[in-house]
Structure 1
Amino acid sequence: MRKTVPTLCAVASALLLSIAMPAMAQDLAIVGARVFPAPDAAPIDDATVLIRDGRITAVGPRKRVDVPRGTQVVDGRGTSVTAGFWNSHVHLIAPPFHQPGDQPAAVLSDALRERFTQWGFTTLFDIASLPGDVRALRGRIERGDVVGPQLLTVDMPFYPEHGTPIYVRELWEKTKAPSAEIASAEQGRSRAASQIQAGADGVKLFTGAIVGGPRGVLPMSADIARAIVEEAHAHGKPAFAHPTDQAGLDVAIDSGVDVLAHTAPDAGEWSPAFVARLKADDMALVPTLTLFDSELRRENVPEEVLQRFVGAATQQVRAMAQGGGQILFGTDAGYIEVYDTHLEYRLMSAAGMDWRQILTSLTTAPAQRFGQGAQRGRIAQGYAGDLVLLRGDPRKSNEAFADVRMTVRDGRVIHDADAATTSSKDK
């Protein structure tokens, strides 16, 4: 069943791309840069990338690519250029993203740039937010009213009955959002179908919900989880799971989810056999290592506890990478107020991931996983003009991925650090 997801997603994505691109398209040339066409390809020095009508029309050594008159030219000398980055775990839930139809366009554009596009993200996958918010924001971006990245969303999450996580109860009460708890397989199936038909791009299950108190973590019923996942797959959509502990991992695996939204430090070390099981089930992992570090520091836990917990998460990522499992970059930004990506790259490096593996997690892996592998994730003729210009060389340091000079989506510059610096100085 899962193998049908990319095929069906690809059709929908192609339609979305054809609708969205005219509003975003520009003719643009990046000239003189070091270009990394894909994680598995050799870099091209002193290269040009040419974008016309939002799509890449040429990439190669500068002397072999003619730039038509009238094209906007960006001097790429000294920069490294990669395909646009994907953040496969965010939450567009904090102001101003709640009820975005009521927010000024400039406020939304600035928030997206400051929190996401300045870090190179041309696609965000929101994996749990308040009902309808991200779909509304996406509509404003695709109409050209708001400047921002491509948005995918699961819309409202699925919690176990009596399992609304302790850390979102206040938000749910404050916004008067409908309950996200699911009491039966039929209810789960019905809501999954309803959300997908309304425009959701997947589903998110809390197979292990942190409820606090004596119970601590409440697992979702395996039958309910399986019903939700089956409904998502019937519509060609992926399913994410928030596992928390070993019981949550077991439910996620048994129900056939596609992506683990977090590592699960409470579950202990992952063995090669366990990773092989995940790989055999074609299950991807989003590390979100910054989440564990930042949350534990916020709670002022002893340093040895922090290191042990983050170390367990890091070991799981290392085991997944060494075992050849698919890893998708994601930060949980929006739930945590940490948008700077330097720490995530440092922690992924500590897990033994090299620059090619990290670039894969940012580009080709999510594009393939979410059905856009034929149009995003690489710098190649015919692909969408999504690019990131880095000031440094990621082969020398993985943290170079966080030093973004410019972000381009469909040929349109959606973040320019040099322009932002000039503007701030003028003020």
Structure 2
Amino acid sequence: MRTALALALFAGACASSKPAPAGGSTVRRSVVHNGQRVGSSMVTTAADGTISNVFDIHENGRGPHADATMRLAPDGTLAFLEARGHTEMGAPVEERFSLENGRAVWNSREEHGEKQLSGPTFFIPLSSADADAFLVAALLKHGGTLPLLPGGVARMEKAGEITVPIGGRDTRLFAQAITGLSFQPVYAWTREDGSFFAEVFPGSWFGEEGAETTADALTARQEELRKKRDQVLAERLARKPPAAGFALLRARLLDIERGAWLPDRTVLISGDTIRAVGPAKEVQVPAGAEVIDLGGKALLPGLWDMHAHLSPPDGPLDIASGVTSARDVGNKSSLLDDFKKSFDEGTAVGPHVYRAGFIEGRGPDASHPEVTAVTEEEARAAVDFFAKRGYEMIKIYNSIKPELVPVLAEEAHARGMGVTGHIPAHMLANEAVRAGYDGIEHINQVMLNFFADHETDTRTLLRFSLVGERAAGFDLHSPQAKEFYALLREHRTVIDPTYVTFEQVYVFEQGKMPPEWAPTAQRLPVQVQRQFLTGGLSLEGGKKELYARSWEQLLRVAKVLHDEDVPVVAGTDFTAGVGLHRELELLVHGGLTPLDALRAATIVPARAMKMAERTGSIAAGKTADLVVIDGDPLADISAVHRTVMTFRSGVRFSANEVYESVGVNPL
């Protein structure tokens, strides 16, 4: 289902002008992100019941498109669907589903199958075909529960309501909470007659055209529902330490800075702080402390994800995966500030949140955050917006004018904030570093320094494809490369490659589950698993082999940078928690030792964020952010998947319990 969050990740659009057939009825829906119309859906039902749909989004230089034809069965489920178009990243879409005499058959570039059905079952399209309203109607018709194809079960119940003015009349709308589509409930708003009205998320809207003014009220009510659910989960999942604290016995403790295992350690936690660390014979357990015998399991510092865009399921996914700190580099400020507050207060489960305020320019291929700047005055005001909210950094994005970069950096540094981001179009990475960047997000943004010039428009998919086409033949040890590394080293520029998201861009193939992801993906909700089949960039025209070679070269860059004494940190821009585990595997695949990969997710980001006195390693006096792992990640980095428990500021969480709360099967 296209939640407003998913739409926000695409952004920007144009409405279809396809005419409605004579005698047909048409429903038009809009996609809006931070006040900007970024997409549209037109659903036309002909007199014979044939439904045609044109769905289109264009934002941040990309977006999905679908031209679909559908028909409904008498029971309200889909009887036929045929969709063509392209994915967010431009890969072709061809999807077909049919239901005849109880036999369901589906085929697409991503998947194919058939099944004899014993009752009403709803097929969830992988394409962007707008079938949300039909799913909601079918669930209402069948008592709120329907099996799904290719798998899973959707359940819907009314979670709340609100009355808002629409067209001059007070109108009651109902929040329908649907489980089985993602990690947590997806909310769909319906009218009193049960018809689909909208899906919302802070800053985003997908719903009836002309009713966009209701978005804020719906979002506020929906956030109330989410927070109530979050608090119930937090109360159930969190184990706070007793007055005498926790005593962790027989820990195999990783000294991350020395790179050594310290066997049979005792760690005392009082409140949110590590009070003592030492050999068992030297540390006395206080009376009344809750004793936790780790039985020789690995005890690591809590992990960092340095490239997050937090959404409601991400807090639990992070904590279950041992991620106790996350740097969010682009979000709706009200939502992000609420996450930070609720995680810190314990009314929701989630990591420590560090915030980088997203600042973008304006234009047809721009993203649409809440803060934009095209003049020097707006640039300074943009920094002020985030500085007043206590943000640690700003993040500069693709459409910022190059001449504004020094202004933004100067203002941010004057306010005690760091600067990271993409490299704006028509600017090179070395110029951005000289202009004040403290970090660079994404491996492609690093490599465009060698492949782009001042005429290259990197606001489109070209920022991905150009690197995919040219990285394979680039000499990472050339004089040009070494000169750039020296600049990064001189400025202590922090590089956040986010390999895990680019693995999807360059390597994922439509219709094939990546074998490295299979063990993790099979633990995820069924509808989430399907997203691993959608691929990345189009591999048409012989690009598969070229992109694969470029990908291997890109993976080597982190090791080269590390050897050149350039700070490298672990970030995802992907599925929270489990995505960081894969990022560590990819860092090792590229040549880092497991120890250095773990440092990239612990002490190195702690230093980069000026938090090393409080976190990043295990020592008395530091915040009790810890993760217990059943295995030896120094021998096999994949052991990080086997989290047992996580301590976030001294509060203990069972990994399996937290995973199960978001529909993830335990190991």
TM-score by length of 2: 0.51
Match of 1:187 among 359, 374, 378: 378
Q: Distance in 2 between matches of 1:120 and 1:132?
A: 26
Counterpart of 1:136 in structure 2 is 338
Give the number of the structure whose residues are more often strand, by fraction: 2
User: Compared with structure 1, are the counterparts of its residues 313 and 163 closer, same or farther at alpha carbon in structure 2 (3 Å cutoff)?
Assistant: farther
Counterpart of 2:347 in structure 1 is 145
Pair 1:158 & 2:363 matched: no
Question: Residue 229 of structure 1 contacts residue 256 of structure 1 at CA under 8 Å; is this kept in 2?
Answer: yes
User: Compared with structure 1, are the counterparts of its residues 118 and 341 closer, same or farther at alpha carbon in structure 2 (3 Å cutoff)?
Assistant: same
Pair 1:275 & 2:478 matched: no
Greater mean deviation of Cα atoms: 220-229 or 24-33: 24-33
Pair 1:321 & 2:562 matched: yes
Once the two structures are TM-superposed, the CA of residue 137 in structure 1 deviates from its matched residue by: 1.4
- Structure with more relative contact order (C-alpha pairs < 8 Å, separation 6 or more): 1
Q: Distance in 1 between matches of 2:268 and 2:626?
A: 11
Once the two structures are TM-superposed, the CA of residue 154 in structure 1 deviates from its matched residue by: 1.6
Secondary structure (helix, strand or coil) at the match of 1:134 reads: helix
Counterpart of 2:505 in structure 1 is 295
Q: Which amino acid aligns with 1:159?
A: E
Q: Distance in 2 between matches of 1:260 and 1:202?
A: 12
Counterpart of 2:302 in structure 1 is 84
Once the two structures are TM-superposed, the CA of residue 286 in structure 1 deviates from its matched residue by: 0.7
Q: Which amino acid aligns with 1:162?
A: G
User: Compared with structure 1, are the counterparts of its residues 419 and 316 closer, same or farther at alpha carbon in structure 2 (3 Å cutoff)?
Assistant: closer
Q: Residue by residue, what CA displacement relative to the aligned partner does 1:163-210 show, whole Å, maximum 9, x if unpaired?
A: 754xx5xxx4xxxx64x432122211111112111232210012xx2x
Q: Distance in 1 between matches of 2:650 and 2:305?
A: 19
Question: Residue 147 of structure 1 contacts residue 414 of structure 1 at CA under 8 Å; is this kept in 2?
Answer: no
Question: Residue 340 of structure 1 contacts residue 402 of structure 1 at CA under 8 Å; is this kept in 2?
Answer: no
Once the two structures are TM-superposed, the CA of residue 405 in structure 1 deviates from its matched residue by: 1.4
Q: Distance in 2 between matches of 1:58 and 1:247?
A: 50
Match of 1:222 among 402, 407, 428: 402
Counterpart of 1:381 in structure 2 is 620
Give the number of the structure whose residues are more often helix, by fraction: 1
Question: Residue 498 of structure 2 contacts residue 573 of structure 2 at CA under 8 Å; is this kept in 1?
Answer: yes
User: Compared with structure 1, are the counterparts of its residues 232 and 163 closer, same or farther at alpha carbon in structure 2 (3 Å cutoff)?
Assistant: farther
Question: Residue 342 of structure 1 contacts residue 399 of structure 1 at CA under 8 Å; is this kept in 2?
Answer: yes
Question: Residue 374 of structure 2 contacts residue 401 of structure 2 at CA under 8 Å; is this kept in 1?
Answer: no
Secondary structure (helix, strand or coil) at the match of 1:340 reads: helix
Counterpart of 1:201 in structure 2 is 392
Q: Which runs of 5+ in 1 are unaligned?
A: 1-22, 98-107, 210-217
Q: Distance in 2 between matches of 1:418 and 1:139?
A: 23
Match of 1:112 among 315, 319, 329: 315
Counterpart of 1:60 in structure 2 is 278
User: Compared with structure 1, are the counterparts of its residues 424 and 195 closer, same or farther at alpha carbon in structure 2 (3 Å cutoff)?
Assistant: closer
Q: Distance in 2 between matches of 1:45 and 1:396?
A: 16
Q: Which amino acid aligns with 1:388?
A: V
The structure having more radius of gyration, on CA atoms, is 2
Once the two structures are TM-superposed, the CA of residue 304 in structure 1 deviates from its matched residue by: 1.2
User: Compared with structure 1, are the counterparts of its residues 24 and 366 closer, same or farther at alpha carbon in structure 2 (3 Å cutoff)?
Assistant: farther
Question: Residue 570 of structure 2 contacts residue 584 of structure 2 at CA under 8 Å; is this kept in 1?
Answer: no
Counterpart of 1:50 in structure 2 is 268
Q: Which amino acid aligns with 2:393?
A: G
**What is the aligned residue count?**
364
Q: Which amino acid aligns with 2:269?
A: I
Question: Residue 269 of structure 2 contacts residue 624 of structure 2 at CA under 8 Å; is this kept in 1?
Answer: yes
Counterpart of 2:166 in structure 1 is none
Greater mean deviation of Cα atoms: 74-83 or 277-286: 74-83
Question: Residue 430 of structure 2 contacts residue 487 of structure 2 at CA under 8 Å; is this kept in 1?
Answer: no
Once the two structures are TM-superposed, the CA of residue 41 in structure 1 deviates from its matched residue by: 4.7
Secondary structure (helix, strand or coil) at the match of 2:250 reads: strand
Secondary structure (helix, strand or coil) at the match of 2:443 reads: coil
Counterpart of 1:350 in structure 2 is 589
Q: Residue by residue, what CA displacement relative to the aligned partner does 1:235-283 show, whole Å, maximum 9, x if unpaired?
A: 2111112138894413421221111111124444542332121010110
Counterpart of 1:101 in structure 2 is none
- Structure 2 matches for 1:257-268, cutoff 5 A? 257-264=437-444, 265-266=447-448, 267=450, 268=471
Q: Which amino acid aligns with 2:485?
A: V
Q: Which amino acid aligns with 2:360?
A: Y
Counterpart of 1:123 in structure 2 is 325
TM-score by length of 1: 0.78
- Structure 2 matches for 1:398-417, cutoff 5 A? 398-417=637-656
Question: Residue 252 of structure 2 contacts residue 264 of structure 2 at CA under 8 Å; is this kept in 1?
Answer: yes
Pair 1:397 & 2:636 matched: yes
User: Compared with structure 1, are the counterparts of its residues 79 and 244 closer, same or farther at alpha carbon in structure 2 (3 Å cutoff)?
Assistant: farther
Q: Distance in 1 between matches of 2:664 and 2:499?
A: 32
Q: Residue by residue, what CA displacement relative to the aligned partner does 1:86-126 show, whole Å, maximum 9, x if unpaired?
A: 1111111xxxx3xxxxxxxxxx5x65213x12221100000
Q: Which amino acid aligns with 1:253?
A: V
Greater mean deviation of Cα atoms: 244-253 or 194-203: 244-253
Once the two structures are TM-superposed, the CA of residue 42 in structure 1 deviates from its matched residue by: 2.8
Match of 1:33 among 220, 240, 251: 251
Counterpart of 2:514 in structure 1 is none
- Structure 2 matches for 1:360-375, cutoff 5 A? 360-375=599-614
Quote the RMSD (CA, aligned, Å). Answer: 2.8
User: Compared with structure 1, are the counterparts of its residues 235 and 68 closer, same or farther at alpha carbon in structure 2 (3 Å cutoff)?
Assistant: same
User: Compared with structure 1, are the counterparts of its residues 311 and 415 closer, same or farther at alpha carbon in structure 2 (3 Å cutoff)?
Assistant: same
Counterpart of 2:293 in structure 1 is 75
Q: Distance in 2 between matches of 1:282 and 1:419?
A: 37
Counterpart of 2:43 in structure 1 is none
Q: Distance in 1 between matches of 2:240 and 2:437?
A: 33
Q: Which amino acid aligns with 2:437?
A: V
User: Compared with structure 1, are the counterparts of its residues 185 and 324 closer, same or farther at alpha carbon in structure 2 (3 Å cutoff)?
Assistant: same
Secondary structure (helix, strand or coil) at the match of 1:123 reads: strand
